[in-house]
Structure 1
């Protein structure tokens, strides 16, 4: 059998963009489709990227742009609700000593950097397009698209996110489950005093924190018990977030006064999700949030998705046949690491929900981040 050379990537988020870049670099023909006409280029406030995510971004060839666009730092502060600094913990450099431990940046900036990198590869990109049907046989997948066109591919990579339609279409019934928390996020100007992430556990919310995303920007977040999303008028998003945030001290008063535009505030439930057994059916393979997700308590969601892209590309370009054995090897290699992150992220949430005051939070963080220093 000749080595397959045509791939359809469904979804243009972090994992979909990353695997498109890597496969094109290897000389494989890639079509990328993305449901949103704007390619998610304006969505989101900020993102926290730890070293293992930065390691993959360097592999993609975009580290210099990311470094120039973001704000790198190496520690985490924990404060009391009134702003009193309780302690500072040095972050573990999970990407190696030659990369920062952590970098915050505006999410739209990261997406634009990845978009530009995808465009530069010469991949075929179709926006506002979805896969309507997938029909498989032993040699490939025939796809009918939402615009009525059709295509034939040796492999389909489903990178279409948490509520992946592709996952359901290939018969995987797993769905994300809420963990009982939700997060408010908003961008704001960065006070000079904010030079790292600071977190407060307790007060009017479970967690309140902020992360610098550039020389003049940060994103702030407040975590509370999840509410019925349909019961919250989006026009009140800024008021709702500000009501919680203004009860915190330290840098919060300066931050809170800028939380005024509801269009800039995002409200999202925390979900957990891990497909067990395998991440493929035939020649359709899941990556990123389509296969797994976790609460952002470890800031590892994007990192796990980027690592999926790196590992799957390594296997696809190894000279092996693209068959069940290879796709199962991808799952077997990824799932222990991903499970560690999902379970640790959920555990941090559960301790908060259960009001466990003597939980070994530093120990859990240290063990998890130390494990992530190993190559995926």
Structure 2
């Protein structure tokens, strides 16, 4: 029998929906709540490495993800010259195992829809536009009051509510989320036939210019620059700025830039990072995903690490008879240092670029990839 019989999951992103799916499938009563009225409404593209695909297969959504995404096995490097000259083709390590693609690009809202639908089908009770207002725990459970006045009592509360986690704040955990010094432009656009994998351009007006196919007819493209205050730009101005920056890059970028006409498809954010030292739980409340660790997307592991958190949490909960210190120790032993390695590697790659330093990029990525090829 699982260590818990009923669970509240706060946050319907990757970590939260994965937790809800796995626990509901195991017979646990799950309430899944999110402050947003529509969890699949926003976003551009997402890059999923093999270790993320491994968990998506465990969740029972791999066939649908494969149908809607775009899989590839190599990474390309191109020069920021007038031709976008190809420099290298690198075989990606299949961190999910030999029977899964190395990498998959996907439209982020589509992935969100698939995961939420799967959670509901598994038996989780979904409440959108809902936020907890307070929680109080004792030895036997957690009393939760919601903003609409309703209440619930749970054996466990899982805070999977993102970078600015309400749950973390409610627990009184002080964790500083720091800007890294980089900002990223993203756009969702049609996919030229020539784009069949991620290509990266280093140099030019941006630190990185890249793109990732997300489907037969779509991709997302991105430009990483020194962080600037872009908040005063109107949508059309944002589009014009991104088009101007993209004009320095060629090859497939020439077609991508021509297709960048919809200002609503452009967004700009700053890279941020934080890492919560163990323990990630306070009694019967535990933080996972971006609530506990977040990093810039320089090695595209944010969603993968959130999914791994959920899978390990499910595993320890369903093998234990109660919420014990031994159970939490196993959870932390399997997750904390692994997540720390990803955060530190992501930050190191960004710092090399900020410093204009020639670091051992391939060596660092190789070490992380070999680490992640072993299931958490």
State the TM-score, normalizing by the size of structure 1. Answer: 0.97
Deviation at 1:4, TM superposition (A): 2.8
Task: Check conservation: 1:283, 1:323, Cα contact below 8 A.
Answer: no
Equivalent-residue separation in structure 2 for 1:131 and 1:64 (angstroms): 34
1:329-366 deviation digits (Å, cap 9, x = unpaired): 3122101111111111101100000001x321111111
Displacement of 1:61 in angstroms is 0.3
Moved more, 230-239 or 93-102: 230-239
**CA offset digits 1:265-306 (Å, max 9, x no partner):** 111111111101210111100010000011101000000000
1:38 aligns with 2:50: no
- The match for 1:71 is 70
Q: Kindly tell me: are residues 169 and 191 of structure 1, through their superposed partners in 2, closer, same or farther at Cα, counting changes over 3 Å? A: same
* Alpha-carbon offset, residue 240 of structure 1: 1.6
Residue 202 of structure 1 is matched in structure 2 by 203
Q: Alpha carbon RMSD of aligned pairs, Å? A: 1.3
The 3-state SS of whatever aligns with 2:134 is strand
Alpha carbons 2:197, 2:213 under 8 Å: kept: yes
- Report if the CA contact (8 A) 2:6-2:28 is conserved: yes
Match of residue 115 from structure 2? 114
Runs in 1 of length 4+ with deviation above 6 angstroms?
none
CA distance in 2, matches of 1:323, 1:158: 19
Q: Residue 308 of structure 1 aligns with which residue? A: 309
* Residue of structure 2 in register with 1:187 after alignment: 188
* 3-state DSSP of counterpart to 1:257: helix
Matches within 5 A, 1:1-376: 3-39=3-39, 41-82=40-81, 83-356=84-357, 358-376=358-376
Residue 368 (structure 1) shift: 1.0
Give the gaps of 5 or more residues in structure 1.
none
State the secondary structure of the residue aligned to 1:43: coil
Contact 1:9 1:156 in 2 (8 A): yes
Provide the aligned length of Structure 1 versus Structure 2. Answer: 374
Measured against aligned partners, the alpha-carbon deviations of 1:224-263 in whole angstroms (never above 9, x if no partner) come to 0111243433442211211111111111111011222221
Gaps of 5+ in 2: none
TM-score between both structures, scaled by the size of structure 2? 0.97
Once the two structures are superposed, what CA deviation does each residue of 1:308-334 show, in whole Å capped at 9, x if it has no partner?
A: 000000000003321343223312210
By how many angstroms is 1:94 displaced? 0.3
Shift of 1:96: 0.3
Partners of 2:236 and 2:197 lie apart in 1 by 31
Tell me if structure 1 keeps the 8 A contact 2:2–2:317. no
Name the CA shift for 1:2/1:80 in 2 (closer, same or farther; >3 Å). closer
Q: Structure 1 residue 3: deviation in Å?
A: 4.2
Between stretches 87-96 and 230-239, larger displacement belongs to 230-239
